[in-house]
Amino acid sequence: MRLVLSSAIVALLTVAGCRSHSNDDISSEHVYEVDMTKIDADSVGYSMFADSVEYVDLEITNESMISRIGDIEITDSAIVVCDSRQGAVMLFDRIGNFSRRIGQRGEGPEEYLAPLRIDADGERIYVYDRWRQGVMKYDYSGRFEGLDSIGPAEDIAILGQGRYLVADFNSSEGSGVYVVTTDPYRRNLIAKRRDPVDRTHMWEFYRSGSGLTVMSSDFENRLYRYAGDSLVAEVRFAISPVPSADDLASWKREDLMEHFAGTGHIDTGRWHIGIYSRYPDMRYVILDRSNGSLMLSAALKNDIDGVAREDFAGSTRDGDMVMTVAGVERDSNPRLQIIYMKE
């Protein structure tokens, strides 16, 4: 699950075993027009969409010092952190006590060199290594259980039985979402970018109690639900203003920085919160599916207990929002703020 607009053009990679057609349905999507220049409120409180807030202090030891949270998975019993700066994966219990490192950085057969994404279920921790272009599988004791080669990926979700949902903007077929089967190896395109200009923006995956959802790449802003190896579009946020075709084609950073781009999303059965930035401004698009209402705010405020947040970190497997807390001392690990969403 991830966050930031990339500014690098990545070389196209040819992937064997691909099918060329997509399997996405946009016929039933609901379109919301969102003018980023016309906010509904200067600030929206957490209490609009959240019931409560929990805090977890991640224990700091010589082995658990976190430089940067690149990805995070929070289950009922564990917190798994991928430190993108150190190239390390760390396991904590649910109240923040450090347990162990999962695997280690290196070029050996059971090691990863460039861990990018993680996923977890009740039995295993899955680490996508960009260098190997594969998923390293470990149990919660840290024992290596094998490697699944899946090709290039920017986000992954475990489907089970050696199958993965993969977001990839490096494919020769363009930015899209693939179902990858590892035995035998197959890589099937199920959704592709619908904008006329294909760029290196990520698709993002979100889990909640209602299933698996997929947010399309920047400036398209289409939310899909995964259903039986298909993606069904539920919502599209028609954001304005948007870059012109010439701006996108030229890929000039100064042109794109004039427009709001998605930097993070949370999706649950009821709520979708999209976080958009155009430095130094922020926008928060808050959709309540229970009544179809949409709110556009320039800020989120913690009106539950007043503790200020710093950065968006991700979400739990139940779809609850995870932030880091502002003002934590530099020699400490991040303090997590888990925002429990209303059902």
What percentage of the chain exceeds 70 in pLDDT?
A: 84
Instruction: Please state which of the ranges 33-42, 52-61, 173-182, 298-307 shows the lowest mean pLDDT.
Output: 173-182
Distances (CA, A) of 59 to 140, 218, 263: 18, 35, 28
Q: How confident is the model at residue 207 (pLDDT cuts 50, 70, 90)?
A: confident
What pLDDT is recorded for position 208?
81
Residue 314 scores a pLDDT above 70? yes
Residue 221 scores a pLDDT above 70? yes
Residue 133 scores a pLDDT above 70? yes
pLDDT tens by residue, 64-104:
999 999 999 999 999 999 998 999 999 999 999 999 999 99
Residue closest to 337 by CA, chosen among 102, 133, 39, 96: 96
Alpha carbons 87 and 65: distance in angstroms, whole number: 12
Instruction: Please state which of the ranges 26-30, 177-181, 187-191 shows the lowest mean pLDDT.
Output: 26-30
Q: b vs e for 231-247, b when ≥16 Cβ sit within 10 Å of the residue's Cβ?
A: bbbbbbbebeebbeeeb
What pLDDT is recorded for position 172?
65
The burial class, CB within 10 Å (0-12 / 13-18 / 19+), for 186 is: middle
Q: How confident is the model at residue 200 (pLDDT cuts 50, 70, 90)?
A: very low
More confident residue, 243 or 123: 123
Q: Which residues contact 42 (CB under 8 A, 6 or more apart)?
A: 297, 298, 299
Distances (CA, A) of 254 to 63, 250, 258, 260, 281: 40, 10, 7, 12, 15
pLDDT tens by residue, 136-157:
999 999 999 999 999 999 899 9
Structural domains in the chain?
Answer: 18-341 (2.120.10.30)
More confident residue, 225 or 173: 225
Residue closest to 130 by CA, chosen among 41, 10, 238: 10
What pLDDT is recorded for position 253?
53
- How many CA atoms are closer than 13 Å to the CA of 133, on its beta-carbon side? 12
Q: In whole numbers, what is the pLDDT of the chain averaged over residues?
A: 85
Distances (CA, A) of 152 to 3, 183, 263, 317: 18, 17, 21, 24
Alpha carbons 84 and 117: distance in angstroms, whole number: 9
pLDDT tens by residue, 3-50:
333 333 222 223 333 334 455 666 688 999 999 999 999 999 999 999
Alpha carbons 317 and 324: distance in angstroms, whole number: 17
What pLDDT is recorded for position 328?
82
